[in-house]
Amino acid sequence: MPLVLLGPSTRTLVLAVSTGLFKTAADFCIGEMLGSQMNPFCYLLAPLKDLLMGMAWFAPLASNTVVWRGGRYAIGRDSALSPYAEAETGMPAPDMREAGAK
């Protein structure tokens, strides 16, 4: 059975909670040193913010398209970009000659 399916161990949970508490305390101390007027309750949301930012950082790894300068492109072999057709995305295909001239 894969270890992932067994769930986290007690050590893992203790490490995760202590890391979150340490991060929250560090953010609070830095905020106080900088004279932040933020509500102290907001610092408790820091670990949640960090998790959401981490997921947002890894989400593009599951995609093979990119939107750049208003056009959608497919990322191909060796990171070559090719324009998506309008019928596939609902967005007009960019003119590659214009993009190269800018």
- pLDDT for residue 6: 75
53 with 12, same domain: the answer is yes
Which residues, in sequence order, are CB contacts of 73 under 8 Å at separation 6+? 65, 66, 67, 81, 82, 83, 84, 94
- My answer on whether 55 and 67 are in the same domain is no
Would you say residue 2 lies in a domain?
no
Q: How many domains would you assign to the chain?
A: 2
- Give the pLDDT confidence of 12-22 residue by residue, as tens digits: 889 989 999 99
The token duo for 74 is: 């497919």
- Pick the closest to residue 66 from 56, 80, 51, 52 (CA basis): 80
Domain region containing 93:
63-101
Q: Looking at residues 6-16, what average pLDDT do you find?
A: 86
Q: Within this chain, do residues 53 and 88 fall inside the same structural domain, yes or no?
A: no
pLDDT tens-digit map of 57-97: 887 788 888 888 888 888 888 888 888 875 455 555 555 55
Torsions phi, psi for 69 (to 5 deg)? 55, 40
Is the pLDDT reported for residue 101 higher than 70?
no
